[in-house]
Every structure is written in structure tokens, then in C-alpha cells.
Structure 1
Amino acid sequence: MRLLTNLQWLDVDGALADGWILIEQDRISDCGHGAAPQLAEATVESLEGAIVLPGFIDLHCHGGGGGSYLSGSTEEAHQAALTHRRHGTTTSLVSLASASHGDLLRQIEVLLPLVADGTLAGIHLEGPWLAPDYCGAHDPNVLRGVADDQLAELLASGQIAMVTLAPEVDGALAAIPRLVAAGAVVAIGHTGADAAVIKQAIEAGARVATHLFNAMPPLHHRKPGPAATLLLDDRVTLELIADLEHVAPAMLELAIRVAGPDRVALVTDAIAAADDGDGDHRLGNMDVVVSGGVARLREGGALAGSTLTQDAALRQLVEVVGVELAAASTMLSTTPARVLGLSDRGQIAPGLRADLVVLTPALEVLDVIRAGVRVD
């Protein structure tokens, strides 16, 4: 039993207040504000006034620390997970990019043990059912319509937690109810569909917008298209990449003001280059060059994921966009937990998993606790 004291965490009004957190095994057994209880059986750890937030949850991540989830390497997958964990992400989906059917099956097979042991929370298929005109950094040569037999094989693992598709692609609308029935969250992305088709996809069961504003037509006053339609539908949770390259601060503020933090999930869309410096990298079959922390395809220059970590997203939301800390925490933890149906995390409360990020007043990571265990 560990009693964390001399810390600040958010109270019911969203303000930082002095408090304490009691951890037993992998759970928060109690927590409160004010003076900590006297517990003879507990090991007391003073956090010297640090800020404590719930562990971050990332719905969209391709890699980090030099490791790619697309590589087919267990070692690289572990490296990517650990890299983001050290930056406060205690729960993450693994996002695969568009690839041949055989390559996707091989990648899934390598990742399944990491899902089974809890290293990863599930698999996100970003494609291959994407619109060629909005494929971004995905290999256009492997994009295709939905084939029933291939979809069945991909779903057979039972660990596909999310699927991103463009609803205008052949077979995509019909596939949405099938995906939902299989337990996957369906996200709309890499799409040029008009508002009517986007609404059809939502009615069919799609509930997430993959990196809103990116890989879709921009907002237009006579053609609402995907961005406006997704933004205005209260059933849809909006992914936002807050690296300030993918989306300008004013557009981040616009989305958050319109939808509210309960409908926004901050994501990294990180590739292997996250926390690995500038240089040459790959995203699936595509060559990527990272310069100044910005990842772009070598050919054509399209943004190719990001080098973002969730702690950096937190700082940029608070310091540049001007979002309140409580709202940022909701978008980093509470909202994505709800999207994944993870009722045991995303907040600091008794009975929930002890996933905590310990931060300086400048929101730099000091320590990370995942399921009650300190991350090395």
C-alpha cells in the first residue's frame, strides 16, 4: 500500500488542489483533497507539490522511440510502447497503416501477444479502405474496397478495437454495422465524402472522426463536407493532433469550443520518429524524412504522421491554445477511455486502475505510474 502525498490533483471544479492518493496493488483505493490520512500500514511518498493527472490514453499511434508497430517486430513494438509510456501514455491502441492483406495479417499476428498481456489496448486498422485522393501518407497502391472475406479474416483475431475507413469506398457503408457488431469502434477518415454520405456513415454506427481536419477537404461555407458534419454531430468523438503542425491553434480552439472536451480525444498519430530525432524513417512502405520534428513523405512532402508525445500535446494545448488544464486532461484521458469502453481508467477515483502521470508545474513529466507500478 502506497500513500502519495504533498501533491496537487484536480478537484470537482477542475481546479488544482492539494491532496493525496492511496494505491493498493494496481488500483486507486482512495483519494482526497486536504490533509492525507494517517495510515500506519502505508508507505508514504511525498511528491513535493507535483501535479498528478490520470494516465494519458492514445487512440492513434504508429510507433515511437525508433520502433514501428508496422515493422512486424515484437522488439520494436515494445520499444514504441515504452517510449510513449515514459511520456505519460499508460494506455494505447496500436495503429496499422494501409497495406496488403497478407502484410496486415502478419502485423496483427505479431501484435496479438502484446494485446493479450496488456502492453497494448487493441489494434486500430487505419485503412486500407481509404479514399485515394485523401490517402495522405498511406501507400495509394494498396488502397481498395471492402472485401467480405478479407474483412472476416482481419476481424478473426477479436482484437480489432478500431477501424478507420472512408465511407464512399466500395463496401464501406455496408461494412460499418458488421464492424460495430464485432466490437470495433468505426472511425471516419481519409475521406472526401459529402455531408450526406458522412451522415449515412454515422447513422450506420460510425462514432469517431480520425484526425479531424486532416486528410479531408477543408471547411467550406457552401460545402460542409466531412469536417463540419463530424464536428456538429454530438454522437461523434473527434480526434485532434495537437502538434501545431497538423492543425493550427485557432482551429484546435474552434473544434474544442464547438464540440467540448467530452467529444475530443487528443491523439499523437506518432510514427517511429517520435522521441527519436530527425532523420530518415519509414511508415509502412513509404519513405519519410523528419526535419525539425516534422515528418513528411520523401516524395510529395505530405505530412506523414507526427513525432508528438501526449505530454507535449498537453503543454501545447495549455500554453499555446489556452485550454484549461482540466479540459486538456479530459481530452487526453477521460474521453478516449469512454471511446474504448474502458470504465476502469481515465480519471482519478477510488476503484479505478492506478494510471497516473506526475508533472512539474511546467507540465514536464517527472514520473509515470501504470497499474500501480512505476514506469522505468
Structure 2
Amino acid sequence: MTTADRNRTALAGARLVLPDGVVENGRLAVEGARIAALGGERRPDDLDLDGFTVVPGFVDLHVHGGGGASYASGIAEEALLAARTHLEHGTTTTMASTVTGEIDELCHQAAVLSELVEDGVLAGIHFEGPFISHNRCGAHRPDLLRDPDPALVRKLVDAARGHAKMVTLAPELPGGLESVRMLAELGVVAAVGHTDSDYAKTLEAIEAGATVATHLFNAMPSIQHRAPGPIVALLEDERVTVELINDGVHLHPSVLDLAYRTAGAERVALITDAMGAAGMGDGLYPLGPLQVRVEDGVARLVEGGSIAGSTLTLDVSFKRSVTLGGLSLDQAVRSLSTVPARLLGLADSVGSLEPGKNADLVVVDSATYDLVAVMRRGEWIIGADRFGPAARA
């Protein structure tokens, strides 16, 4: 195939999950890096996607690594490997999430990751820690935790050179609310997570500008009938997007259902919270300064046994959502693509199948919902050979 041909591609016969519904036997044309058109008559040189479903590329707000590599390593080659691993599983837009460490080390990581944002590999940086609660620190090293002093928070944001997209913090800590206000003024998402906050303090954080719940239900107080805690406050406020980890480990299916029935698919972002073992097998892996053991795909700290992120990829989350989670195709697409793209301010270019947007596509089998192919910005990443010689690069 010539370069000119590769820059003009049409997929025909597929089920397309579009913003206004699902279209059977649809046609999608790609020119260069963008979607050129939807619909039109089928042509002899179109790629045959009968039996396949096309959805927009997935957008992951919260991921620490994959392929045996970590974004917290401070090594560009590792970050590239992690991003590539998730890209091959359908995540065409990815944030790089750090983990609690020394402030200067986090600043170094931010500088390395910022270069990859500028190169178009990553969509931004998410700082998870060190401004979190000792009581809810999970897989974060307790001795490195810090109160969210606005000056320290600003130091991390500045180290990211304009590419810090989100900071997770515990608003009940000294400086928490002030830092939320500052982040909102800077255009950085303030996320409530790893928190021991109560209901009232969480409402204050939302009023101050917090708009995300970091992996809702995990690393925060449970709902009690006299002390509803942060979960109820975050679920009930329409300004808040709630992250959920649909890996069969972090949340019971009934809890996922509760979140969807309360918040609706327009406020749920399905994330991986994946660490370096994503896309790999069982074994020992680093998570920042801590060691994690993965057994049967479940990641836990070697010391203490706390759940330490996940080994999830978003293609698996998508399949679980539509086969086990009771979500419709368009609901799953909203949570895996549209909602996180909107939160990151990228809805003009990614998150849905529309003309003019990036040709970021995930192709799955219409019967099994298993991943078949991935396209990013008009180039096949994997699976092109599934559609015959015309799809070969």
C-alpha cells in the first residue's frame, strides 16, 4: 500500500457506536490522521468489517504503567513502553499517573513525562500523592506523604510545564481546600481521593472546585447511615466525575451498578489504575518505591498486602462492562472515551466517532467483544491484517 493509499481508508460493514446511537452496517472514512466522513455508499476498495464493532479509542485518566514499566521510574524509555502497552489494548489517549515519592523526584518525573506530552505520546500528567491521608494511603509509602501545602502543590504543577492535568489530594488535610482552589484557578483538575474526609468536608472541596473522585469507593471511608462520608457527597453532585475500576477485584458488580444508577454514564469514567504488571504475567514489580506481588492477576503490596493498583487494560474493562456489567454499548463508550475526553478538555479531537476528530478507533468482535484492532491518528497499531491485504501497511 502506498503512503497516499494509507492516508485514505474506509471501513465498511461495521457496527459503529456513534454519539447519537449505534449504526449497523455503517461506513467510516479516514483521511490522514482524522475521520473524514460517516456513511456513504460502500466501495470496492473499502475494508470489510462485517462482524466487527468500531468504537472510539479509549481514554484513560488514571494509569501508572504497563508492560513491566512504570511512569514513576523517571525514565523515558519505560514511559514509552507503558504507553505502547496500553495503546495496543485500545487506549489511544493516556494520562501518566505518578505515585507518592520525594518532591524533587516527582519533579524529575514530571520533566521527563512532559517531554512525552510534547511529543504527542501522552495527554498529560496526573499526580496521585503525596498529598493524601496516612489512614487511606493504600499502595503509597506512608513516610513520604505530605500535607497539601499550596506551595508544594504548585511546585509539582510548575515542574510539569503546563502539562499537569490532575492532582489527587485529601481535602481534609491542612492546606487541602486552599490547594483545591488554586488548582481550579490554574485549570488543573482537583481530584478527591485517598482521603479520610467526611461528608461536609467533601462538599466544601467540591464547592472549592474539586471535580473528580479518584477511584470512587477505594481508599476512602465507606458509606454509613449516620456518616455518609465522601462517597455520597461525590456521587450526588452533578459537577463531579467519578472514576471506577471495573476489573472484578476493586468493586463488586452491585456497587458498580449503584454508581451508574446514581451518577449516570455521563459522570462515570472507567479507568485502569494499572501498574507495571498490566499486559504481563504474575511476579514481582515495583510501584514507585514499593514492591508489588501479582498473583492470579491481582496486584498487592509485598508488605501489608494492600491492593496496589490493577493489571487491567481498558479493552478488558470494555468487554466486562458490556458482557457482565449490564452497560449498553453507548454507555460503555461514554465512560471509556467520551466522559474522560471531555474532562481533559480534549472533546474536540477525541472521545467519539465524528468527522474532523482524530481517527482513534478500536475494533472489537461483535459477538465476543474481544479486541481485534487499534488505530491511532489514522495509523493501524495492531490488527490491520484482520481485514485483508488492503489494510496492510
TM > 0.5 between the two? yes
2-structure distance, mates of 1:30, 1:16: 14
Counterpart Cα distance in 2 of 1:239 and 1:347: 19
Q: Where do residues 92-103 of structure 1 align in structure 2 (5 Å cutoff)?
A: 92-103=94-105
The 5 A counterparts of 1:1-376 are: 1-10=8-17, 14-32=21-39, 36-38=41-43, 44-156=46-158, 157-343=161-347, 344-361=349-366, 362-376=368-382
User: In structure 1, what residue type is equivalent to 2:104?
Assistant: G
CA deviations on 1:130-180 (whole Å, 9 max, x unpaired) are: 010000111111111123433332122211100000001111100112112
> Distance between the aligned counterparts of 1:191 and 1:151, measured in 2?
16
Measured after TM superposition, the shift of residue 11 of structure 1 is: 5.1
The whole-number CA distance in structure 2 between the counterparts of 1:149 and 1:237 is 26
TM-score computed with the length of structure 1 as normaliser: 0.96
Name the TM-score, length of structure 2 as normaliser.
0.92
Moved more, 293-302 or 9-18: 9-18
Structure 2 distance, partners of 1:78, 1:104, is 18
Q: Distance in 2 between matches of 1:91 and 1:369?
A: 12
In structure 1, C-alpha distance between the alignment counterparts of 2:134 and 2:291, rounded to whole Å: 18
Letter aligned with residue 125 of structure 2: I
Q: Distance in 2 between matches of 1:148 and 1:256?
A: 34
Q: In 2 relative to 1, CA 12–188 (structure 1 residues): closer, same or farther, beyond 3 Å?
A: closer
Quick check: 1:62–1:70 contact (8 Å CA) kept in 2? yes
Aligned-partner Cα distance in 2 for 1:130–1:93: 20
Counterpart AA for 2:54: V
Q: Residues 116-139 of structure 1, C-alpha deviation per residue, up to 9 Å, x if partnerless?
A: 011000000001110100001111
Per-residue displacement from partner, 1:48-78 (whole Å, max 9, x unpaired)?
3310000000000000011110111111111
C-alpha distance in 1 between matches for 2:18 and 2:168: 35
Paired amino acid for 1:2: T
Q: Is the 8 A contact 1:158 1:182 kept in 2?
A: no
Partners of 2:41 and 2:101 lie apart in 1 by 53
1:276 and 1:6 map into 2 onto residues whose CA distance is: 34
Whether the 8 Å contact between 2:130 and 2:144 is mirrored in structure 1 is yes
SS of 2:206's equivalent? helix
User: Matched residue pairs, number?
Assistant: 371
- State the AA in 2 paired with 1:349: E
Is the partner of 2:362 in helix, strand or coil? Answer: strand
Deviation, structure 1 residue 12: 6.0
Consecutive unaligned residues of structure 1, counting only runs of 5 or more, are none
Q: Percent identity?
A: 47
Label 1:341 to 1:12 Cα distance change in 2 as closer, same or farther (>3 A).
closer
Asked if 2 retains the 8 angstrom alpha-carbon contact of 1:94 and 1:123, the reply is yes
- CA distance in 1 between partners of 2:148 and 2:245 (Å): 27
Q: CA separation in 2, counterparts of 1:48 and 1:158?
A: 43
Runs of 4 or more consecutive aligned structure 1 residues displaced over 2 Å after TM superposition: 10-16, 35-39, 146-153
Could you say what secondary structure the match of 2:369 adopts? coil
The AA in structure 1 aligned to 2:67 is G
